[in-house]
């Protein structure tokens, strides 16, 4: 059987798949199918894909541990950078198409509307993670500091969910769904960090806990 990991086939496939939301959006724009308020539609689609990409990135490690498919880790950096990419598009849509570079109004909006404040903070926090995503930066920072810095991604995702919860007016079902998925990923992460260690103390469970 062909080992897809030997070739960049899967990476290319995932790369193309990650570009699909942008292709769909561009298609809708070119065929004038963005609805009555195209700017709102672009903001919403880029926003939701930022959040989805963040959650997919966070799901890589649990998926790797649960399936034993270690090479999944090779996709994590690319997925994280796509979260930054869609976040950048979302932000540019806001400052360009929505606010038309009115700096004073943007500053006032960031200061006065809590959902914009939280979204803005989350996006700003994504920048150092994108900048330090290269292999050279990982080496320069040292694994431990790099890992510490990149734990910020949880705070960013929480910010994304809060931003979403805050901006929807009536139906909070969708933001709650994303919040639930993030909650499950966080619980898994905490369990892995602290829960498994306590199991290791119980001889009968030590073997099983260490195997995972
Ligand atoms: C990590 C960063 C961010 C994430 C994850 C995020 C996520 C989202 C999501 C999920 C939506 C709603 C999509 C929908 O209704 O289907 C949204 C809408 C929006 N976001 Fe963000 N966002 C982020 C950063 C920002 C930033 C930096 C700004 C502007 C400074 C911003 C401004 C907006 C605006 C104006 C809307 C539309 C609100 C409306 O429909 O009334 N977001 N965002």
pLDDT in tens, 116-167: 999 999 999 999 999 999 999 999 999 899 999 999 999 999 999 999 999 9
Measured distance CA(59)–CA(154) in Å, rounded: 11
Query: Is 164's C-beta closer than 6 angstroms to any atom of ligand 1?
Result: yes
The percentage of residues in the chain with a pLDDT greater than 90, rounded to a whole number, is 83
Atom of ligand 1 nearest to the CA of 125: 1
pLDDT class for 205, splitting at 50, 70, 90?
low
Query: Is 94's C-beta closer than 6 angstroms to any atom of ligand 1?
Result: yes
Query: Is 162's C-beta closer than 6 angstroms to any atom of ligand 1?
Result: no
Q: Which of 24, 44, 47 to mutate to test the pocket of ligand 1 (most atoms within 8 A of CB)?
A: 47
Measured distance CA(24)–CA(66) in Å, rounded: 32
The percentage of residues in the chain with a pLDDT greater than 70, rounded to a whole number, is 89
Measured distance CA(91)–CA(119) in Å, rounded: 9
């Amino acid at each position: 059987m062909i080992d897809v990991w030997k070739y960049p086939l899967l990476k290319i496939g995932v790369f193309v798949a990650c570009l699909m939301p942008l292709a769909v959006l561009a298609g809708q724009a070119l065929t004038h199918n963005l609805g009555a308020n195209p700017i709102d539609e672009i903001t919403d689609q880029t926003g939701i894909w930022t959040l989805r990409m963040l959650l997919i990135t966070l799901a890589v490690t649990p998926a790797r541990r649960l399936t034993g498919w270690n090479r999944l880790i090779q996709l994590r950096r690319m997925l994280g950078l796509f979260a930054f990419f869609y976040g950048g598009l979302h932000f540019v849509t806001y400052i360009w198409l929505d606010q038309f570079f009115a700096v004073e109004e943007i500053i006032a909006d960031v200061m006065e509307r809590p959902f914009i404040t939280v979204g803005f903070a989350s996006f700003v926090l994504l920048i150092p993670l994108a900048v330090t995503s290269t292999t050279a930066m990982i080496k320069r920072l040292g694994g431990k500091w790099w890992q510490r810095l990149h734990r910020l991604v949880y705070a960013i995702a929480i910010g994304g969910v809060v931003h979403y919860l805050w901006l929807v007016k009536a139906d909070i079902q969708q933001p709650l769904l994303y919040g639930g998925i993030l909650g499950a990923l966080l619980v898994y992460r905490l369990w892995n960090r602290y829960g498994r260690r306590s199991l290791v103390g119980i001889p009968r469970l030590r073997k099983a806990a260490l195997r995972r």
